[in-house]
Amino acid sequence: MSQAKENAALAALDFVEDGMTLGLGSGSTAEIFIEKLGEKVAGGLKVQGVPTSSGTAACAKENGVPLIDVDRVSKIHLTIDGADEVDPLFTLIKGGGACLLREKIIANASDRMVVIADASKMVEQLGAFPLPVEIDPFGMALTADQIYQVLQDTGCKDGQTILRQNAEGTGPLITDGGHYIVDCKCGVIPNPGETAHFLEKIPGVMEHGLFVDLASVVIVGEEDHARVMELSRE
């Protein structure tokens, strides 16, 4: 387990209060958080979690974190999730674990989103990490062409789209929602808000991995401590 990720996950526990409904993110850092949360639950903390993926649901069950069905929830106080890249305005690239659609639904419905990440995820400009875009399998080549065009038109250096394969190498990866993921080599994304806006206009795009104006706290894990950074979203 990376010590930096663990330090970020541990610091996120300070944001959790008794009685909260929590959005539980996906990925290795989020899973460390869930393990630590499970220890608190065993010690008497009362929370319920809304998982952002089937993997997260399994992890929460393993660690004794109670879950509530997303369709039975009217309020999510706080979501804790990882990220693939974080820029100085807390705009994120997410989706390295292929869970971006559900992650965004939950983050967007939450009062607050706290990102936990090791220091390697902090960047001046987004785009070195290929941007994941979740698409409907129907007409995927047409959709991929339009994504390429949007990335070119909004100033990304490249835009090449690559259909993500499953871990077994037997075909395209299928997300929890039954969609495909294309990973887009951008190089740089100079205007994330604009790129996000135009990607959202493509009918076959279910969701993209740019999280704009969602995170208000970023906890950066280092080897021996964690740095908490906050941004007002009032």
Options 24, 78, 99, 215; binder of ligand 5RP; rule CB under 6 A? 99
Q: Is residue 217 part of the contact set for ligand 5RP (CB under 6 A)?
A: no
Nearest one of 44, 12, 11 to 25, comparing CA atoms: 12
CA dist., res. 117 & res. 129, Å (int): 14
Grouping H, G, I as helix, E, B as strand and the rest as coil, residue 164 is coil
Beta strands in the chain (DSSP E): 21-24, 48-51, 78-81, 85-86, 92-93, 113-118, 131-135, 160-163, 180-185, 205-208, 210-211, 217-221, 226-230
Of 128 and 155, the one with the shorter C-beta distance to ligand 5RP is 128
Q: Is residue 215 part of the contact set for ligand 5RP (CB under 6 A)?
A: no
Pick the catalytic residue: 31, 85, 103, 134? 103
CB of 119 within 8 A of CB of 48? Answer: no
CB of 78 within 8 A of CB of 22? Answer: yes
Q: Is residue 25 part of the contact set for ligand 5RP (CB under 6 A)?
A: yes
Of 26 and 143, the one with the shorter C-beta distance to ligand 5RP is 26
Beta strand 160-163 with 180-185 is antiparallel
Q: Is residue 83 part of the contact set for ligand 5RP (CB under 6 A)?
A: yes
Determine whether 103 is an active site residue: yes
Nearest one of 163, 152, 160 to 194, comparing CA atoms: 152
Contacts of ligand 5RP in 103-132 (CB under 6 A): 103
Of 25 and 204, the one with the shorter C-beta distance to ligand 5RP is 25
Q: Is residue 50 part of the contact set for ligand 5RP (CB under 6 A)?
A: no
Minimum Å gap between C-beta 93 and ligand 5RP is 8
Q: Is residue 96 part of the contact set for ligand 5RP (CB under 6 A)?
A: yes
Cα Rg of the chain (Å, integer): 17
Minimum Å gap between C-beta 118 and ligand 5RP is 7
Q: Which residues bind ligand 5RP (CB under 6 A)?
A: 25-30, 81-84, 94-100, 103
Q: Which residues are part of the catalytic machinery?
A: 103
